[in-house]
Amino acid sequence: MATQSSRAAARLMVAPSVIVLFIWMIVPLAMTIWFSFRIYRLLSPDRTGWAGFRNYAWFFNSPDFWLAISNTLLLVGGVLVITIVLGVLIALLIDQPVWGQGPLRILVISPFFVMPPVAASIWENLFLHPQNGLFAAAAIGVGAQPILFMESYPMASVILIVSWEWLPFATLILLTALQSLSSEQLEAAEMDGASAVNRFRYIVLPHLIRAITVVVLIQTIFLLGIFGEIFTTTQGGPGSASTTLPYMIYKQAVIAKDIGRAAAGGIIAVILANIVAYFLMRSMGKHLDA
């Protein structure tokens, strides 16, 4: 198969899709880089020309910038920890033979089908709302003061909502990994005198590590760009308390209508994503090898 001519033919055949994908990627990136060095304000279209690094400088000098970066990382980290810990526990639970296993599993998966703004609205208005929310009713029921989630704990509320959305994904991947563990290994460990906790720690967890790596990598990609949930609930507030990098870019592009600054923010986001990806692959990439 792999003769000289067939390899050349293969390259030729693959070339069109590679070229299309490359253009698909490089044109938006190049345009964003281009705009990030331009003065490009929709409210004053007559002012044009090169901005140099001023668009970038504005971000780094903005009082919200480092808060937004840390909020972004907090959101990613928080959701990852919650979804993986709870995901492993739920996967262990629904892996047990119980009556109604099929419907139960579909129920567990279903939050993933709810659109992000809808999920956020449901959580904000039906659960977290200080007057109408379920949690408020529960708090009043036990004679406590309802918690003002969106005002007092905006980042925690956003993390809670996003975790709820992504928990099914983690559970699903971890459940399938759990089902591929041979029961003889667990029985061997049982015969070897390992308690349930030790069986989990020495047999189940090492078996799950590759699936956990996959969940971390995939979720990180999506979580770095979380926007809809913040837009629907806290609007980045109160003040800038729950502003993340994507939300900050949105504010520059749509509210301030400064395309140049928004483009600079976009490039910063790309660099941040690459830094995160580099450290993730360095720390976890080895688990992806067979």
List contacts with another protein (CB under 8 A).
182, 184-185, 187-195, 198, 202-203, 206-207, 209, 290
Cis peptide before 238 (omega within 30 of 0): yes
Of the pair 12, 191, the CB lying nearest another protein is at 191
Give strand pairing partners of 50: 38
Is 200 or 227 the residue whose CB approaches another protein more closely?
200
> How far apart, in whole angstroms, are the C-alpha atoms of residue 208 and residue 182?
12
Nearest approach, Cβ of 265 to another protein (angstroms)?
Answer: 42
Question: Which CB atom, from 151 or from 187, has the smaller least distance to another protein?
Answer: 187
Task: Provide, rounded to whole angstroms, the least separation between the CB of residue 198 and another protein.
Answer: 6
Q: Are 56 and 266 in contact (CB under 8 A)?
A: no
Q: What count of other Cβ atoms lies within 10 Å of the Cβ of residue 26? A: 10
Task: Please identify, using beta-carbon distances, which residue of 145 and 180 lies nearer to another protein.
Answer: 180
In whole angstroms, give the CA distance from residue 244 to residue 197.
39
Least distance from another protein to the Cβ atom of residue 215, Å: 18
Nearer to another protein, 205 or 271 (CB): 205
Q: How far is the CB of 194 from another protein (least distance, A)?
A: 5
CA distance 52 to 42: 18
How far, in Å, CA of 53 to CA of 33, rounded? Answer: 11
CB 119 to another protein: min, Å? 37
